Amino acid sequence: MAPMIAARLNSLRSVNIKDPVTAADYFAAQWVNPSDIFSVLLLLGPEIVQQAVAQLAGRIITPVAFSFGWVAYSATALLSMVGEGRLMPETDMLSTLVIRADTGHVRTTSSWVLGRMLRDLDDRYDEEMENEEAHVSPWQAISAHPPSAECRSPGEQKKKKKKPWEALHISVYEVIDEEGYKHGVPHRDWVWYSGFLVILVQLVIAMLPWVLHGEWGTFFITAYGNLLALLEGSLPQWRKEKWSCPRKGGATVTLTQGNGSRHAVVILGKKGVGLDLEILARGTRTSAPSHFTRVAAALLTIQWIGLLITADGLEIDTWYLLGIGALGSIQNVISAGAPRSPSALGVHIRDLGQPIRGKRVADALKAAEQQYPGVGMSLVPIFFPGSMRVEPSEFDFWRAAQQRQMGPNSHGTRIDNLPPPSTSITPYQEIVEHKSMF
């Protein structure tokens, strides 16, 4: 399109592109070969590159295409390696909570994996409930009954029946314990394969100037840029940080954004199988980058700077490079934000297909406690920070649930529920009395 504009300018008046003098000359020359802009664009958008790599990292090769922003990102990654030592970004799903069912312990997660998993599951739930009934508050309820089917007009009867309103929807998942599901190793999906497809298309485009008029510079920059991108995104440190937790199972936990959210995800723990999501929530098991990782990051940054200098010297066929960079950036943006299944994120869980619903949050929590003891009770302080009120008919149920949570378990007895002191002298009292004698 741009070369056509330049040709049109040449037809209107004499334009000197080789030695521009007037403003029209400079404009036409820039549109024919915008050589300077490509090197500038290589410095834009490092955050998108980081998020794209975070989404796809986990296997031996991370297929993130060469695009604008890689040079700036390489410098940012090197600074992170020298400083805090982290490559993975923190979650962009703010206030994501991980609640352990048997203890009620709550952790605000910084894990990219858990945040993205909850985001995608929430979006899926929102799509399912797109055609739901309008919410009517208890104090707004109308005592009159809705019109019967005989009283409705034919048009109203033909309308698709809406789903009932849900104050809280609790999805229940179980950990997959089958061959072919290695926890902490993501399954490949269309997002992962799209990286290789875009790289292939980029190389084909880059070969056009070489085939047409023997200029191989565009192909060299594209091929070397993609090689550096594959090496940078495939550093082992990415895998260590992305799933920084034990992989021998964990407790039953609930993922939700807490009070005000209409969706919660319960993942039933299985001994010896799966990721320990409670530890993954904070990522405290991340090992410091090795000397190899730091040296590799430094060498890659030097190579990226060299590629930037080389690209700045290319003054012909720059439209091909701009198209290649734009195509790579589109792939980066799609990879960074595309919804994915939990297995594509390395968390292999299966929906049991038995969600817990309730028109009142309290009803949903009670049903959750009945089916999975500990789950409903652990969510009471999350959805009712000021405590939940119940009818007298439910006193016995919630009293028993509270006793289960407060009672002794394999870890011992809660210090806020200790039994009364015995009349016998404890070892601590003996020490105190012994010291008081001197």
List, for residues 246-268, the tens digit of each pLDDT value: 888 889 999 999 998 999 999 99
- For residues 191 and 230, give the distance between their C-alpha atoms in angstroms, rounded to a whole number: 15
Domains held by the chain: number: 1
Q: Whole domain around residue 374: which residue ranges?
A: 33-130+162-408
Task: Take residue 25 and report the two structure tokens written for it.
Answer: 């000359």
Task: Take residue 174 and report the two structure tokens written for it.
Answer: 């179980």
- Segment 214-239 shows an average pLDDT of 92
Highest mean pLDDT, choosing among 36-45, 178-187, 424-433: 178-187
Q: What is the pLDDT of residues 391-409, one digit of tens each?
A: 999 999 999 988 888 888 7
pLDDT for residue 143: 47
Residue 49 belongs to a domain: yes
80 pLDDT band, cuts 50/70/90, is: confident
Instruction: Say if CB 346 and CB 58 are below 8 A apart.
Output: yes
Residue 148 belongs to a domain: no
Task: Take residue 10 and report the two structure tokens written for it.
Answer: 């040449």
Residue 168 belongs to a domain: yes
Indicate whether 27 pLDDT > 60: no
Residue 85 belongs to a domain: yes
Q: Rg (Cα) of the chain, in Å, rounded?
A: 30
Non-local CB neighbours of 34 within 8 Å, separated by 6+ positions: 2, 318, 319, 322
12 pLDDT band, cuts 50/70/90, is: very low
Instruction: Say if CB 308 and CB 250 are below 8 A apart.
Output: no
Residue 419 belongs to a domain: no
Residue 434 belongs to a domain: no
pLDDT for residue 421: 80
pLDDT for residue 130: 76
384 pLDDT band, cuts 50/70/90, is: very high
Residue 57 belongs to a domain: yes
Non-local CB neighbours of 88 within 8 Å, separated by 6+ positions: 54, 57, 112, 238, 241, 242, 283
Write down the pTM of the prediction. 0.81
Residue 176 belongs to a domain: yes
Query: What percent of the chain is predicted at pLDDT more than 70?
Result: 79
pLDDT for residue 144: 44
- Segment 55-82 shows an average pLDDT of 91
- For residues 229 and 249, give the distance between their C-alpha atoms in angstroms, rounded to a whole number: 34
- Segment 202-211 shows an average pLDDT of 93
127 pLDDT band, cuts 50/70/90, is: confident
142 pLDDT band, cuts 50/70/90, is: very low
Indicate whether 156 pLDDT > 80: no
User: For all residues of the chain together, what is the average pLDDT?
Assistant: 83
Stretch among 71-75, 224-228, 289-293, 433-437 having the lowest mean pLDDT: 433-437
